[in-house]
Amino acid sequence: SAMAGVYIDANVLGKRLDEIHKAIWENKEDGFKEKGSGTMCDAVAIVTGKSTEDLRYMKSIALEMWLFAYELPETLLVVCKDRTVHVVTGKTKAKLISETKEAVEKMHKISLEVHVRAKGTSGEDLFEEVLSKVEKLSEGEAAALLGSLPKDKHEGVFFDTWNKSVGKRLEATTLKQTDVSLGFAKVLSVKSSDEQTNSKKAAFLSAQAMVKYVIPQLETIIDEEKNVKHSTLSSLIEDRILEPSKLEVRLKRDKVNACYAPIVQSGGKYDLKI
């Protein structure tokens, strides 16, 4: 199967879900509050859509990688203030996540509720179930506040159905929603010692690629007045990065991956936001 040999580290998952919980409900980080009112979220949602080959810079995908070490397409994660985390996903991914349930509960006192979406269904019944539980988290008469990542635009029925289910409740004013992108950016910016080591190695590899490959390539192209497409140069650079020994970097080839294709711009028009 596509998931053979794949497993999720329960300790990392539990520890990082706990970090999200602490940031919101212990440290009361501003990035998880409603603008204006300063009300703290009752729950936060991370949702992904269909898997595509496009390069996508999305917090939802970065968070999945951080929690699970994998991108999990068509998966919903709702972290609630009562230390429950609801997961809605397909059968194979649900099985993988369920295997961590006992350890996550035992080590980190977080209850993982895994809801399996049946093949060929939109997930609407499960979304309704999870949202009903979120609404019950609010104190007093106020509508529950759900934190979300509105800038992440995914594709597919699963993602669209989730947004419709949320939209219905926003209209009925039983639920409110707020953008928590800044809150999650702050959570992700704190790096463990392993992550710091990886960042240093990746930075060194990138610098070596620049010095040992990109600059000589560009000098040759300019000297010989060649016309080389940006996309061609980008894939040549990426191929070289994936072979560290050719850049005199002592990293195992199977440990190296590109988070995105090298971005090549020339001709006086530059977009640094890319």
pLDDT in tens, 142-157: 899 999 999 999 999 9
List own/partner pairs for 250-254 with CB under 8 A and 24 or more apart: 251/201, 251/205
Contact 180, 41 (CB under 8 A): yes
pLDDT band at 274 (very low <50, low <70, confident <90, very high): low
Residue 7: per-residue pLDDT: 87
Contact 149, 79 (CB under 8 A): no
The verdict on pTM exceeding 0.85 is: no
Q: In what order do the strands lie in the sheet with 175-179?
A: 111-116, 84-89, 76-80, 43-47, 144-148, 175-179
pLDDT reading at 3 higher than 60: no
Collapsing DSSP to helix, strand or coil, 33 comes out as strand
What CA–CA distances, in Å, run from 12 to 16, 79, 264? 6, 16, 35
Rounded to 5°, the CA angle 74-78-81 comes to: 175
Token pair, residue 123, equals 């997930």
pLDDT reading at 2 higher than 70: no
Contact 46, 147 (CB under 8 A): no
| Spacing of C-alpha 52 from chain mean position | 14
Task: Give the CA count within 13 Å in the CB-facing half-sphere of 78.
Answer: 26
pLDDT reading at 183 higher than 50: yes
Percentage of the residues of the chain whose pLDDT score is greater than 70? 97
Token pair, residue 223, equals 């000297």
Residues linked to residue 111 through DSSP beta bridges, in sequence order = 84
Give the count of beta carbons closer than 10 Å to the beta carbon of residue 244. Answer: 20
Torsion of CA 46, 50, 56, 59, to 10 degrees: 0
> How deeply is 36 buried, as exposed, middle or buried, from its count of CB atoms within 10 A (0-12, 13-18, 19+)?
exposed
What values do phi and psi take at 107, rounded to 5? Answer: -85, -30
At what angle are helices 10-25 and 59-68 packed, to 10 degrees? 130
Mean pLDDT of 38-58: 88
pLDDT band at 105 (very low <50, low <70, confident <90, very high): very high
